[in-house]
Amino acid sequence: MENKTIGFAVCGSFCTHARAMEALEQVKARFARVIPIVSECTAATDTRFGCAHELMREMARICDHRVISTIAGAEPIGPQKLLDLLIIAPCTGNTLGKLAAGVTDTSVTMAAKAHLRNGRPILLAPSTNDGLAGSAPSLGALLNRRYIYFVPFGQDDPERKPTSLVSDFSQVADAAQAALEGRQLQPLLTAS
């Protein structure tokens, strides 16, 4: 097991939360410490895909650590140099846009800003229906940004959702390892 501390942040792409929990288990098995983080939207929203409280309980159980769910809770990540790597999986179009624009009004974007001040890597797992439309400029900006790496992603349903992109959550742990080494896991684009 690698002696690293990883932040694992979950945004409100509710249909991918089950896959994200599998990825979280794999990340926890590979790295010594994992600190769970959720966006306020994730913490407050029950959907047909699951109940917010149960998701957070599951994350706390896997990580054996309380879940960070506020801007104030995420702020110490910067001054305390808490994390070696921050994973955001899933990363919504909303959070992609905020990261690209430098907006910091959620727990997850605060975690990213605090962590980036230490010049350490962030791994994004985009999952958004407008990845090849409204969120494409954000994605493009972040692809060209220092310290930002991606979990390989691709079109999940080109016929019925032609602009939708989703990451391959089975590659999160490998992409995390690569990001810690300063490498983008390849191929970046998955086949649909």
Ligand X SMILES: Cc1cc2nc3c(=O)[nH]c(=O)nc-3n(C[C@H](O)[C@H](O)[C@H](O)COP(=O)(O)O)c2cc1C
Task: Give how many residues touch ligand X by CB under 6 A.
Answer: 17
Site string for ligand X, 82-121 (x = CB under 6 A): ----------xxxx----------x-x-------------
- Contact between 52 and ligand X by CB under 6 A: the answer reads no
- 80-115-134 Cα angle (round to 5): 155
Which of these, 92, 62, 89, 94, lies nearest to 169 by C-alpha position?
Answer: 89
Cβ distance to ligand X smaller for residue 38 or 185: 38
> In angstroms, rounded to a whole number, what is the distance separating the alpha carbons of residues 110 and 68?
11
Dihedral sign computed on CA atoms, order 139, 143, 149, 152? positive
* Pair 175, 148: CB distance under 8 Å: no
- Contact between 155 and ligand X by CB under 6 A: the answer reads no
Rounded to a whole number of angstroms, the minimum distance from the CB of residue 13 to ligand X is 3
Rounded to a whole number of angstroms, the minimum distance from the CB of residue 2 to ligand X is 28
> In angstroms, rounded to a whole number, what is the distance separating the alpha carbons of residues 6 and 176?
9
- Contact between 139 and ligand X by CB under 6 A: the answer reads no
User: Can you tell me which of 6, 7, 8, 14 binds ligand X, judged by CB under 6 A?
Assistant: 14
- Contact between 42 and ligand X by CB under 6 A: the answer reads yes
User: Can you tell me which of 12, 36, 121, 152 binds ligand X, judged by CB under 6 A?
Assistant: 12
Dihedral sign computed on CA atoms, order 179, 9, 140, 150? positive
> In angstroms, rounded to a whole number, what is the distance separating the alpha carbons of residues 88 and 3?
20
- Contact between 11 and ligand X by CB under 6 A: the answer reads yes
- Contact footprint for ligand X (CB under 6 A): 11-15, 39, 41-42, 47, 92-95, 106, 108, 127-128
